[in-house]
Amino acid sequence: MVIPDTPLYNSKTDAEFRIRMIRHIRTTFRDVLSPTDLKLLDLPNGLDLVRNRVQQMLFDSSHGQIDLRRPDLKQIAA
């Protein structure tokens, strides 16, 4: 995989990358995500929670045509 040569991706540790990614999500997607969704990013598994929330929003808005949720979640929802 080719990673862009930008400050966001040039981090020395996983923790630093996580902090930069959370900051990027907060600034870039604040019009799409609710304040409650953005607060999820403060939790230890916040990135996973927001990813799941966005996948569910995409599924709902496409009336089930686009389904990026994990296979085990698809079975629970069905």
State pLDDT tens for residues 25-66.
999 888 989 999 999 999 999 999 998 888 888 888 888 787
Asked, for residue 34, whether it belongs to a domain, the answer is: yes
Asked, for residue 53, whether it belongs to a domain, the answer is: yes
Count Cα atoms within 13 angstroms, Cβ side, for 19.
Answer: 8
Question: What pLDDT is stored for residue 21 in this prediction?
Answer: 86
Asked, for residue 29, whether it belongs to a domain, the answer is: yes
Overall number of domains in the chain: 1
Asked, for residue 24, whether it belongs to a domain, the answer is: yes
Asked, for residue 18, whether it belongs to a domain, the answer is: yes
**Dihedral sign, Cα of residue 43, residue 44, residue 49, residue 50:** positive
Provide the token pair at 66.
């686009």
Asked, for residue 7, whether it belongs to a domain, the answer is: no
pLDDT for residue 18 is more than 60 = yes
Question: What pLDDT is stored for residue 35 in this prediction?
Answer: 93
Provide the token pair at 22.
């959370």
Asked, for residue 6, whether it belongs to a domain, the answer is: no
Question: What pLDDT is stored for residue 75 in this prediction?
Answer: 56
CA 64 to chain CA centroid, nearest Å: 19
Provide the token pair at 37.
């969704």
Asked, for residue 8, whether it belongs to a domain, the answer is: no
Q: Which amino acid is at 25?
A: I
Provide the token pair at 13.
């540790």
State the residue range of the domain holding 51: 14-77
